[in-house]
Amino acid sequence: MSGGTFDYNQYHITMVRERIEKELKDELYSLKTGTKKDYIDQKTHERIIKAYREAVSALKLAEVYAHRIDYYIAGDDGEDSFLERLEEELKVLKKS
């Protein structure tokens, strides 16, 4: 079975997160080097970076839930294994 409940569209969450992470690196680099456009002050730039980080965290959480629920609905996980695997992945996510 291996998931597929959502036609694997949950992986779009991963693609969005990865793109935001790339943009975050660019934002951090431009803050460090001072190459961001002149019209953005440092305080605003730092708030933008914070928003990017929050988005990445939220998307990582969405990835875990979408993946685990996909496997549960598809029958790859039973009730107990669904809850155990979800809990374990959330613990790992919280540590990172």
Longest dimension (CA), the chain: 55
The residue segments making up the domain with residue 82 are: 11-95
Residue 69, CA distances (Å) to 15, 20, 24, 66 in order = 19, 24, 29, 5
| Residue 4 belongs to a domain | no
Question: In the prediction, which pLDDT does 77 show?
Answer: 93
Question: In the prediction, which pLDDT does 17 show?
Answer: 97
Q: Please give the mean pLDDT across all residues of the chain.
A: 90
Give the number of other Cβ atoms within 10 Å of residue 24's Cβ: 17
| Residue 86 belongs to a domain | yes
Contacts of 45-54 with CB under 8 Å at 24 or more apart are: 49/24, 52/20, 52/23, 52/24, 52/27, 53/24
**What proportion of the chain, given as a percentage, has pLDDT over 90?**
66
pTM comes to: 0.86
Reading the block at residue 36, the tokens are 């961001």
| Residue 28 belongs to a domain | yes
For the chain, the domain total comes to 1
- Residues 23-70: pLDDT tens digits? 999 888 887 787 766 667 878 888 989 999 999 999 999 999 999 999
| Residue 21 belongs to a domain | yes
Give the integer Cα–Cα distance in Å for 84 and 96: 19
| Residue 88 belongs to a domain | yes
| Residue 58 belongs to a domain | yes
